[in-house]
Every structure is written in structure tokens, then in C-alpha cells.
Amino acid sequence: MGSRYPSHQLGNGLFVSGRPEQPKERPPTMSSTAMPYTGGDIKKSGELGKMFIPTDGSKLRKSGPIPGAPSRSGSFAGTAQSGPGAANATGRMSGSLASSGGGSVSMKKTNSGPLSKHGEPLKKSSGPQSGGVTRQHSGPIPVLPATGLITSGPLNSSGAPRKVSGPLDSSGSLKTHMGSVVHNQAVTTLGPEDEFSSLKSFPKSVLWLVVLIFIMGFLAGGFILGAVHNPMLLIVVAVFFTVVAALFIWNSCWGRRGITDFIARYPDADLRTAKNGQFVKVTGVVTCGNVPLESSFQRVPRCVYTSTCLYEYRGWGSKPANSSHRCFTWGLRSSERHVVDFYISDFQSGLRALVKTGNGAKVTPLVDDSVVIDFKHGSEKESPDFVRWLRQKNLSSDDRIMRLKEGYIKEGSTVSVIGVVQRNDNVLMIVPSSEPITAGWQWSRCTFPTSLEGIVLRCEDSSNVDAIPV
């Protein structure tokens, strides 16, 4: 009994409806076989090596550019030498296609390797080959999306932060690296005017008014003493002058201690409940950002703040260290003070905040010195490292009395930071305050009111800190 619908039987005996499918011709595919390692001997290369064996008894020569031959973008992965017959075999053995029937078709083009969908050979890189495998580049590397990590410094063309590195020179001074770090936009360079001084905040008008009053008092006391022989006014003026002068000298010597005590007594804030724009003090452990620093004299790596200052004492008839250096005082001759952005892990909340002290931000550092070296003429053998540092900085010692002070904040140190909280896309930051911080009269220390600008960094001697948090 026939059926109007055609059917056919499969190989397993099952009848199915429809006509049997016609076998489709498979498109030609590339087949390649890894060539065995021959050690450079073409006699062990099989059929391929026989083409390059010279028949006229001439010596073998190493492969190179063949004059008059067309340029090739592909190459055989196992052949290292060629002979005179290579020019004739170039167009004959450039590649083979394996068809479904097992036959091979010789290509007319001289480019070996896989073909594109348009029948054109794919371009390959001309770099070094390893193990007979040619590396291919599929195109330019795409730009990766932003990860949300805030780093210091400018970005390159691909959106990644620039890396600063360089080899050590013969003296191990990293001059190239330090020069690039100093001129980096992410590094804030602090000058002598940024150094903290308790008398710098004292109003100049009040100071000159006090000086004028004492001058007038001494003149009046001297006139009365000469006219009526009464020294009472002169004694009173002298006593008041002594008290005021002692108070100014005390503040110049112990004013820094008064402000550090003020920062120590200031309560720490909780970053979990801190609002945007709130003035806070945070104490925690420091972690370096994208651009770590290195101290100039001791070469301490992975620092967020470094300060190396060289002072000179000017005696009678000696050379001044700077234009404003007075006699019988210490003057600043050289200063290297830098600070960058860093992270701080709060002790109270455990949160991690980014402290924006780089990119030219206003910073007031109150960091204790880790090393102090006194040097005078004739003590070169006692301080060879200091003499070497002077030579690297092109500074002459002569017969001057010098003092080197260096302080730093390295990774793992405990730091107190005073600034303003700023939240930007769930990123917690501490930025400089737009208004200076005012510390009133410190009666326990007998210090004048002092104002602090920008972000305040307070760190004790961190030379003994060895732990680096991860």
C-alpha cells in the first residue's frame, strides 16, 4: 500500500518521512602538522628538506632575503636554511588545502597560513617564533573599563595610570626616578613658607604696635630718669619688656609642642556617621597610593611624605645660607619636601579613606624628624654617608657648620589627619579645608593662638615601624 508522502529508511532500520538528505560538500579546511625539531639539519626534514638540498654540490648558505623574489608575509615554522632551489620551490610549496576526499590543492599565491573569509591571507606579526608557532595579533588591545580605583597622577592614552620606574645608576641614587617623581603632577612640593611656625600666625600689626609701645616707654623712662632722677618708669618698662620677650622666645621654641598637644586632645570622628563637608580628625594606618616616595638621605622606600632639610649656622664673617640669613642663627640651605595622595584605615570605623594631599593641595605637616646629623669641618671620616649625599646634591661643605634633618611618613605608620569629609560616588575622601583651623590660647603651654591651613598631618617618629598592612 503506497503513500503520497515519501519516506526512507535509516541505517538503524527506522523508517522516517521525507526524502534522504543529500551529502553536502564540506568547505576546504586548513591542515597543518607540526614539524619535528631537526636541529638545523635539513637532511632530517623529510620531503620538505629535500627541496633545499643543493644538487650542484655548492655549500649551504643561511637563509636571507632572495633578490628578485616576491615578499612573503608567511613563513615555514620549522625551516631555518635554504639553498639555491628555494626560489623555484617558493611558489610550489607555499601551503596545501586538505579536501574532503584527502586530495591536496596547490595554491598559486606565495603566502602560507590560514585564509580569511574573502580568500586573502591573514597578516602575521614578524616577531620571534618559538617552537614553530607564529604569534598572531588580532588587532589593537581594547581599552579596559574603569575599575573605580582612585589613584594619584595623570593617566595615559589607554586610561591606565602612568608608572614611574627606572634602573639604578652606579651610585644607587635613582636620580632619574626621583626627578620624574618630583616633576609629577601628583606630587605636592612644599616650600619653606609651608613649614609650621607658631609666630607666623601672630598678627604683624599687633607685633609692631607692641614694639612701638616699648620704644616709647624706654624713651619716656630715660627722660624721667635724667630729669627728676626717678628710675621707677624705666624699671617697670624693662620688666614688662622682659616678660613679653620671654613669652615670644618661649613660643618660638615650644609653640610646636603646644599645637601637637591640641591635635592629640582633639577627638577622633567616626567615618561611618560623618556627613559630607564635616570637619573631622581621623587616626589610622597609612597605605601608599599610586605614586610612592623615597626619602632623599636614608633612601626609605614607599613613603607618602618626605622632608630632608639642610641648615647652616652663620657665624661672624661666614657665608649666609640664603638671602635672609642673619648672623648667629641657623639658615635653610636646601629643602626637599614632598607629599602625595595616600589611603588611611580608620581605627574606629575600620573604613578606608583617600587623603587628597597631592596635586598641589595645601598641607601642614607636623612630622617628627627621624634623623638629625650635625657636621662640621674635619668630621668627614665620621659621617661618610653625609659627605656622599652632599656630593650627589652638588653641595660644598667647606668650613661650614651644617645640620641635616630628615623626617618621613612611610607605609604602615600611624597618622592623625585633620580635614573635611567628601563623598563622591560612594568613595570616601578627606580633602583640605577651605578655612584655616584655629587653635586658641594654650594656657597649659603658654602658647599664642595658631591657625593651620589645609590638611593637617601629625605623625611621630616612624623610623621603627616595620609592619606594612596589606
**pLDDT tens per residue, range 308-318:** 999 999 888 78
Residue 60 is predicted with a pLDDT of 46
Residue 195 is predicted with a pLDDT of 76
Q: In angstroms, rounded to a whole number, what is the distance separating the alpha carbons of residues 98 and 29?
A: 6
Q: In angstroms, rounded to a whole number, what is the distance separating the alpha carbons of residues 199 and 456?
A: 18
> What amino acid is encoded at 83 in this protein?
G
Helix, strand, coil shares of the chain, percent, nearest 5, are 20, 25, 55
Least confident of 59-63, 270-274, 286-290, 402-406: 59-63
Residue 105 is predicted with a pLDDT of 38
- Percentage of residues in the chain with pLDDT exceeding 70? 63
Phi, psi values for residue 173, rounded to 5°: -95, -10
Is the pLDDT at 177 greater than 60, yes or no?
no
Residue 307 is predicted with a pLDDT of 94
Residue-wise pLDDT for 90-115, tens only, equals 334 333 333 334 443 334 444 455 55
Residue 48 is predicted with a pLDDT of 58
Is the pLDDT at 12 greater than 90, yes or no?
no
Task: Considering only CA atoms, give the Rg of the chain.
Answer: 40
Residue 30 is predicted with a pLDDT of 57
> What amino acid is encoded at 90 in this protein?
T
- Confidence label for 254 from pLDDT (cuts 50, 70 and 90): confident
Q: In angstroms, rounded to a whole number, what is the distance separating the alpha carbons of residues 83 and 59?
A: 9
Is the pLDDT at 408 greater than 60, yes or no?
yes
Q: In angstroms, rounded to a whole number, what is the distance separating the alpha carbons of residues 306 and 408?
A: 4
Residue 45 is predicted with a pLDDT of 59
Q: Which helix (H) or strand (E) holds 222?
A: helix 204-228
Q: DSSP state, 194?
A: G
Phi-psi group of 152: left, alpha or beta (phi > 0 → left; psi -120 to 50 → alpha; rest → beta)? beta
Is the pLDDT at 189 greater than 50, yes or no?
yes
Residues 233-258, mean pLDDT to the nearest whole number: 90
Is the pLDDT at 213 greater than 90, yes or no?
yes
Least confident of 182-186, 453-457, 462-466: 462-466
Distances in whole angstroms, Cα of residue 156 to Cα of each of 9, 148, 159, 163, 292: 67, 16, 5, 9, 18
What does the mean pLDDT of the chain come to?
73
Residue with cell string 635554504: 82
Is the pLDDT at 371 greater than 90, yes or no?
no
